Amino acid sequence: MESEGVKSTPPTLPVGDPQDTSFLTSDLRAALLTYLSEEEVAQAERAYHVSARAHQGQRRRSGEPYISHPMAVAAILAGMHMNIETINAAILHDVIEDTEVSKEDIVAQFGEEVAELVDGVSKLTQIDFESHQEAQAENLRKMLLAMVRDIRVIIIKLADRLHNMRTLGAMPLKKRRRISQETLDIYAPIANRLGMNDLRTELQDLSFAELHPMRFRILSEAIRKARGNRREIIGKIEATLFERLTHAGLKDFEVKGRVKHIYSLYQKMLTKHLSFNEVFDVYAFRITVSSVDACYRVLGMVHNFYKPVPGRFKDYIAIPKTNGYQSLHTVLFGPYGVHMEIQIRSYDMAKVADAGVAAHWLYKLGDGDSDSTQTHTRKWLSGLLDLQKNTGSSIEFLENVKIDLFPEEVYVFSPKGKILELPRGATVVDFAYAVHSDIGNTCVAAKVDRRLVPLSTPLSSGQTVEILTAPNAHPSPSWLNFVVSGKARSNIRHYLKNLEHNEASELGRRMLEKILRSRGRTLAELEPWVNEELLREFKLYSIERLFGEIGMGNRPAVLVAKRIEELSHDRPNQPRPRPHVIKDVLHRYMPTWLGGGRTNAHPLAIKGSEGMVVTYAKCCMPIPGDPIQGFISAGRGIVIHDRNCKNIKEFKNAPEKWVDVEWDADQSREYPVAIRILARNRRGVLATIAATIADMGVNTRDVVIGNDEGAVSSLIFTIDVKNRVHLARVMRRIRVLEDVVKITRKKA
Ligand code: MN
């Protein structure tokens, strides 16, 4: 016996009367008779008498006769249509451990098979998970090995745990928490590994309710409310899907709105740092069909009805999950602006998805392809046996088993077979940094199981990952959007910081050079002592640092240039002239079009390759060909605006922030620009415009659909173009489209 509680001895009441067959005349008997023969049910009745007599006088903490517990466990297993040996073993599962009845007694009365099962469950019951790591590893090993010998042992144990969790209320608080934690740590992962989803989700929700009663209450309440609010939408979408699929000629199928269980929502909020609304604002539907073939046909149909969200399609039919789960998953942009998660599976797959390994008994599935969980489990278990033979310590064994039992971590292999542990959700880039920071810094692509994949690809356990590097490659700021490991994150940040310094230093040097040239000087002819004096005054240890300070916008280039001029007129050991009033100096360097005294002879050329220290204002999105003006922004370098941008006003009284710039004729990149299109509200108009843009080889960054203005709607496309000429060409092509009313460049 374990968690189910303390039993009071000596007996105070004669309970478990051998003549009393009430348990078998009730629901359990009826449940058994739905799939077992009369003779078999008679055997169960006999098991009941033996068990009831043995447990006589024992009570559960709740006060009920103890026999009620094994009978409830048997009832759970009857619901899974487990065979008579399993049912008998469940009824007798605590007698070896807690009563005078021996294994030999059971062999004599019920046969070897039942006795082995009861013995197996008893051994698991003795396992104490509260111990230290070594002992814990040993326990888990025992548990898994018992499972290897006969999977039904663990199924009985899971049913046992489920009933104990359902009746936890009578336990003292501390024990309830301990048992719940153990359920989450050990039993739920095992249920998951065996694909027994219904059982797993119930175990998780019950444990969660015990461990975090407040959070459980708040979440349940929020879910209840949200469900009420969206019942109508779900119903409408369900009906629409049903109608469209029927119209497309599909027969024999079901469409159902799907409810996610509380613990998985909670996990999602934790791991993805999402609010309740973000997690819950997804509508989930399941479409069940008659054949594998129909699954793929339905996938095609729904992708035709609603646009799929890129990168979210998963084919677990071709590549089942390790626990045998099969289904197609996709996410669609649904009506009412909602995301719809769709699962598509056959009726057979649905059975396996809920009951996992137990589907074998429940649905009498054959050993063919439909019974993939059985096959997978058998393979996994025989693998465990090999592992057991080949590993020395329990801890080592546990490390290996963890791979498929605890999916919070991902275990992947290097091409040479070295195993790396990464946090769940880790991508190719995380892997690269886990191997070595140099590999991370220079990775450009990867092969996962010999297939070329993008760097943002998330990894799953068992994959072999080979990183492709290029000597001149370097980390991109966008990587920070998808890496999950601390190592990758800190390495990328560190690199970008250095890069920024280098870019800033290069930009600062150019800015200073420009100004000096306009005054008839160059950096090259700077006398070394001027150099040294500058660094001494500015308290910097290298001239690169000084350039960096200028490039980052922390020190105005004009003032540095001014100081250089002054120093150059100086001789060492002579008194230095008083610095001029700043406004005067600035005025001299200001461009004429802004009222300054300087001609526009030496603006800074912008190539687009300046990196992070030159950025382009989001309000006016300047592109080559536009008149531009740069503004120094402390810590960020130069921000480029269109000269006609309204936001320039705020710099009017801060001329020290102005930098005169122009587009370099030699451009190294494309620039984002926004266009606003008014188009007639016709079906397919958005797709036509998008296709026209794509046809021209132009990248679309973003599309925003503005407010509906009756028969006309406004679409804002953000696209990448080389320059104004290029933009004009794109706009001309769109303007002539049939439903386009008007097209303009959009500036804030
Ligand atoms: Mn029990």
In whole angstroms, what is the distance from residue 601 CA to residue 660 CA? Answer: 10
93 and 155 housed in the same domain: yes
Q: Is residue 138 part of a domain?
A: yes
Confidence (pLDDT) at 722: 92
650 and 681 housed in the same domain: no
47 and 167 housed in the same domain: yes
649 and 704 housed in the same domain: no
- We report the CATH number of the domain holding residue 682 as 3.30.70.260
- We report the CATH number of the domain holding residue 301 as 3.30.460.10
Q: Is residue 410 part of a domain?
A: no
Residue pair 547/526 in contact by the 8 Å Cβ criterion: no
Confidence (pLDDT) at 593: 44
Q: Select the more confidently predicted residue: 514 or 358.
A: 514
575-579, 613-617, 658-662, 665-669: the lowest-pLDDT one:
575-579
Q: Is residue 155 part of a domain?
A: yes
From the candidates 97, 105, 315, 720, give the one annotated as an active-site residue.
97
The residue-averaged pLDDT of 48-54 equals 91
pLDDT at 713 over 50: yes
In whole angstroms, what is the distance from residue 242 CA to residue 256 CA? Answer: 9
State the number of CA atoms in the 13 A half-sphere of 90 facing the CB. Answer: 34
Residue pair 215/269 in contact by the 8 Å Cβ criterion: no
Q: Which helix (H) or strand (E) holds 429?
A: helix 428-435
Domain boundary among 306, 333, 365: 365
CA of 27 to the centre of ligand 1 (A): 20
Using left for φ > 0, alpha for ψ between -120 and 50, and beta otherwise, residue 591 falls in beta
Q: Is residue 378 part of a domain?
A: no
The residue-averaged pLDDT of 223-238 equals 82
The residue-averaged pLDDT of 454-471 equals 84
CA of 22 to the centre of ligand 1 (A): 20
311 and 181 housed in the same domain: no
590 and 688 housed in the same domain: no
From the candidates 2, 98, 565, 626, give the one annotated as an active-site residue.
98
317 and 287 housed in the same domain: yes
**φ, ψ for residue 95 (rounded to 5)?**
-75, -40
194 and 328 housed in the same domain: no
| Catalytic residue check, 98 | yes
Give the three-state DSSP class for 658: strand
CA of 121 to the centre of ligand 1 (A): 9
**Residue 733's domain spans which residues?**
671-745
Q: Is residue 70 part of a domain?
A: yes
CA of 6 to the centre of ligand 1 (A): 12
User: How do residues 411-451 score in pLDDT, each as one tens digit?
Assistant: 788 887 777 778 778 899 999 998 998 999 988 888 888 88
How many structural domains compose the chain? 4
Q: Is residue 351 part of a domain?
A: yes
CA of 96 to the centre of ligand 1 (A): 11
CA of 98 to the centre of ligand 1 (A): 10
User: How do residues 354-403 score in pLDDT, each as one tens digit?
Assistant: 877 777 667 665 544 445 556 666 666 666 666 555 555 555 555 555 55
State the number of CA atoms in the 13 A half-sphere of 54 facing the CB. Answer: 21
The residue-averaged pLDDT of 297-323 equals 81
Q: List 69's β-bridge partners, or say none.
A: none
655 and 682 housed in the same domain: no
- We report the CATH number of the domain holding residue 200 as 1.10.3210.10
Strands 339-346 and 328-333: antiparallel
The residue-averaged pLDDT of 502-511 equals 87
Domain boundary among 610, 645, 663: 663
Neighbours of 190 (CB within 10 A): 21
Show the CA angle centred on residue 451, arms to residues 474 and 418, nearest 5°: 75
Q: Select the more confidently predicted residue: 229 or 574.
A: 229
Q: What is the band of 204 on the pLDDT scale with cuts at 50, 70, 90? A: very high
Nearest partner of 600 among 634, 628, 620, judged by Cα: 628
Q: What is the band of 156 on the pLDDT scale with cuts at 50, 70, 90? A: very high
Nearest partner of 467 among 422, 423, 435, judged by Cα: 435
49-53, 67-71, 654-658: the lowest-pLDDT one:
654-658
Q: What is the band of 525 on the pLDDT scale with cuts at 50, 70, 90? A: confident
Neighbours of 519 (CB within 10 A): 15
Q: Is residue 399 part of a domain?
A: no
CA of 309 to the centre of ligand 1 (A): 47
pTM for the complete prediction?
0.53
CA of 99 to the centre of ligand 1 (A): 13
Q: What is the band of 709 on the pLDDT scale with cuts at 50, 70, 90? A: low
The amino acid sitting at 59 is R
Using left for φ > 0, alpha for ψ between -120 and 50, and beta otherwise, residue 443 falls in beta
Confidence (pLDDT) at 128: 56
642 and 616 housed in the same domain: yes
Q: Is residue 296 part of a domain?
A: yes
User: How do residues 639-669 score in pLDDT, each as one tens digit?
Assistant: 999 998 888 888 877 777 788 888 988 887 8
pLDDT at 6 over 80: no
Domain boundary among 615, 630, 663: 663
Question: Rounded to an integer, what is the distance from CA 33 to the centroid of its chain?
Answer: 45
296 and 261 housed in the same domain: yes
76 and 142 housed in the same domain: yes
Confidence (pLDDT) at 364: 63
CA of 738 to the centre of ligand 1 (A): 73
pLDDT at 599 over 60: no
CA of 30 to the centre of ligand 1 (A): 23
| Catalytic residue check, 20 | no
